[in-house]
Amino acid sequence: MKIRKAVITAGGWGTRFLPITKSQPKEMLPLLNKPLIQYVVEEAVSSGIEQIILVTSLVKNAIENYFDRSFELEHFLEQKGETRLLKKLQDLSSLINVCYVRQKEQLGLGHAVLSARDVIAGEPFAVLLPDDIIEGKVPALKQMIAVYEQYKTSVVAVQRISSQDAPKYGVITPKEVSGRTYQILSLVEKPTPQKAPSNLGVVGRYILTPQIFDALAVTTPGKNREIQLTDALQLLLEQQLVYGYEFEGERYDTGTPLGWLEATVAFGLKHPDFGPAFREHLRKLL
């Protein structure tokens, strides 16, 4: 079955960015002139996704408003003759069919995915995390869909990590299948460097079969009552093969202030309009 739907999780508190996230969703922080969440929505669209399920929470109304139409602003731009900006706004609101699901409690990534069960309705689907911005010639999700179409089972994105970063990731025990593709023998969530089974960490892109929901429903909550998607994937391994795919592209972890700054600088330097001037400014600062 074709991958038509994608879940984008955006229900967390964003505590690492407080106090700004007290009133502004972390996913709406700007990366140049677009919010973080728009980058992952555009990646999904470029990968052939037809419907997005955005898992939000009570304080995330700004996300819903962003992808909606703003008739007053469109009228204002039309009156001013700002046709280019008007088209940008209209293209944004017609980008894709979006469905919103509220995560009533912030109980982990697994819980957020489980919240979308009824909308997924028994289909295989994608999951994208807005913290992970991935830049490449071919969208990372599109690469993973190609792997899914070959094996017809769940696929998770993996990246090589340093041993000291293992406690930040789910880490796989891999069996190389071909090139960048690995059969996953086991997964462990946030191991110590000494107990990490490999240097391949799971990052924020997944293709999941609907059986993941049954696994999530019986996954034992961990710290802070959170349901971890990594733990559910470990249960899923008892029923079906799961593959890891080492995607091609540059990943930026914008879930921390430092990572967000690094992404901003990287994207700023590449921008065709102000990249050269920005580079010169940084050179002066250094």
Tokens of 1: 């079955």
**Residue 270 belongs to some domain of the structure:** no
What is the predicted pLDDT for the residue at 181?
A: 97
**Residue 130 belongs to some domain of the structure:** yes
Distance between CA atoms of 101 and 57, rounded to whole angstroms?
Answer: 8
**Residue 283 belongs to some domain of the structure:** no
**Residue 40 belongs to some domain of the structure:** yes
**Residue 282 belongs to some domain of the structure:** no
What is the predicted pLDDT for the residue at 94?
A: 72
Number of domains in the chain: 1
Q: Scanning the structure block, which residue is given the tokens 């799971």?
A: 202
Helix (H) or strand (E) holding 58: none
Task: Name the DSSP class of 219.
Answer: P
**Residue 269 belongs to some domain of the structure:** no
**Residue 21 belongs to some domain of the structure:** yes
Separation in Å, CA 52 to CA 2, 64, 67, 99, 228: 14, 12, 11, 6, 22
What is the predicted pLDDT for the residue at 90?
A: 76
Q: What is the DSSP string of 138-186?
A: S-HHHHHHHHHHHH-SEEEEEEE--GGGGGGSEEEEEEEEETTEEEEEE
Range of the domain at 160: 5-255
What is the predicted pLDDT for the residue at 97?
A: 80
**Residue 266 belongs to some domain of the structure:** no
What is the predicted pLDDT for the residue at 57?
A: 85
Burial 73-91 (b: 16+ CB within 10 A, else e): ebeebeeeeeeeebeeeee
CATH of the domain at 69: 3.90.550.10
Per residue of the chain (286 residues), give pLDDT as tens.
789 999 999 988 888 988 988 888 999 999 998 999 999 999 999 999 999 999 998 778 888 888 887 778 887 888 888 888 778 777 777 777 888 998 888 889 999 999 999 999 999 999 999 999 999 999 999 999 999 999 999 999 999 999 999 999 999 999 999 889 999 999 998 899 999 999 999 999 999 999 999 999 999 887 778 899 999 999 999 999 999 999 999 999 999 999 999 999 999 999 998 899 999 999 999 8
